[in-house]
Amino acid sequence: MPVMANTNTISLSPSMALRSPFALAPMAGLTDVPFRTLAWELGAGYMVSEMVTVKAELWETGKSRLRRVLVPGVNPNAVQIAGHDALVMAESAKRLVGEGVEVIDINFGCPAKKVCRKAAGSALLADLDNISRIVESVAGAVDVPVTIKTRTGLTVDDEAGVLAALAAEEAGARMVVMHGRSRACRFKGAATYEKIQLAQQRLTIPLLVNGDIDSLASAQRARQISGADGVMIGRGAIGQPWIFAELAGKPLPNRRQQLQIMLRHLKLMHEFYGPEQGMRIARKHIEAYLGRMNASHLCREFMPLDSAQAQVLWLRRQSSGPLACVSPEAVAEIAHIQMNSAA
């Protein structure tokens, strides 16, 4: 089986090395604690939390609290912050480190209006001085490594992302992740890796290439063109978290094992969010798995299931035979459980 070369170890500090150069990208609404737990079990070498707000007034909302939860057994636990005010960001970084966070990642890549309205995320690529101020202020406030995640530039023609990476290194960042699209591209068009190569040639800290990697072949290509030290995978891990096993040269799970992994993921979601919320959040993930398995038609059966227990039962039935519509008797049985659990 072809293995992706592990090459040099990526170190964020003299005492902190990443387990492997295959990282899971932060994705708000997707890479929560259950998903990161699973990705780590399957071999991901590094993971960053979903973006966390630095606004003190939102700190204690349910969403912010859940996003800050550390993933048991993961090393290092990295949390991503987004904002535009260097002092406020330093304060929240301190607070996060006080809660046990081991790496602070700063988002200079998000193009979402909600984030950019406040001149945060990728909007900061237009203000390199503020990028320097933020990284310097955060790195000066905490004694854990500070990393950044950015895009190639504001538009396809400029190199603002490369300049931002260099400014961040100068200000104390210990690693850069670069998504091979500009801010203007948002998610349109294919990611390109040439600008990332430019950054790689000029940085002395580690660099991860990100964008459109969803297989061993695409990971090899991205790394070859960019020369990056490692890869970060976002959407390519949704519905197939075993991609991390593939990159590490481990045997790919067969269909039955994939269904067992889905079952594990389902249970992790039910446990972390509780059965009600967990059941709702599970739907988008199971839809993604079934889509990858060319079995989207089964969503018609899964989506209406209205209890955590019924979801588990349905998936268990799938794991004990070929992926197929469940028999009418079994659907009736599942519906019966649903009614009982609602009573």
In the complex, which residues of this chain contact ligand FMN (CB under 6 A)? 25-30, 50-51, 80, 107, 109-110, 149, 179, 210-213, 233-236
Give me the torsion for CA of 11, 153, 39, 287, rounded to 10°.
Answer: 180
Closest residue to ligand FMN, Cβ-based?
234
The active-site residue, picked from 110, 116, 299, 325, is: 110
Distances (CA, A) of 59 to 29, 45, 66, 81, 84: 17, 28, 10, 12, 16
Q: Answer for the pair 54, 88: CB distance below 8 angstroms, yes or no.
A: yes
Q: Which is nearer to ligand FMN, 111 or 278 (CB)?
A: 111
Among residues 68 and 179, whose Cβ is nearest to ligand FMN? Answer: 179
The nearer residue to ligand FMN, 107 or 200, going by C-beta atoms, is 107
Shortest Cβ 319–ligand FMN spacing (Å): 28
Instruction: Report in angstroms how near the CB of residue 151 gets to ligand FMN at its nearest.
Output: 8
Closest CA to 311 of 342, 273, 275, 343: 275
CB nearer to ligand FMN: give 27 or 330.
Answer: 27
Nearer to ligand FMN, 186 or 202 (CB): 186
- All residues at 6 or more sequence positions from 263 whose CB lies less than 8 Å from its CB, including other chains: 312, 315, 316, 319
Calpha distance 265→239 (Å, rounded): 10
How far apart, in Å, are the Cα atoms of 109 and each of 84, 126, 166, 180? 12, 12, 15, 11
Look up 110 and say whether it is catalytic.
yes
Q: Specify the DSSP class assigned to residue 327.
A: P
Least Cβ distance, residue 29 to ligand FMN (angstroms) = 6
Least distance between ligand FMN and beta carbon 196 (Å): 12
CB 343 to ligand FMN: min, Å: 36
The answer, yes or no, to whether the previous bond of 111 is cis (omega within 30 of 0) is: no
For tokens 């902190």, name the residue. Answer: 16
Catalytic residue annotation:
110
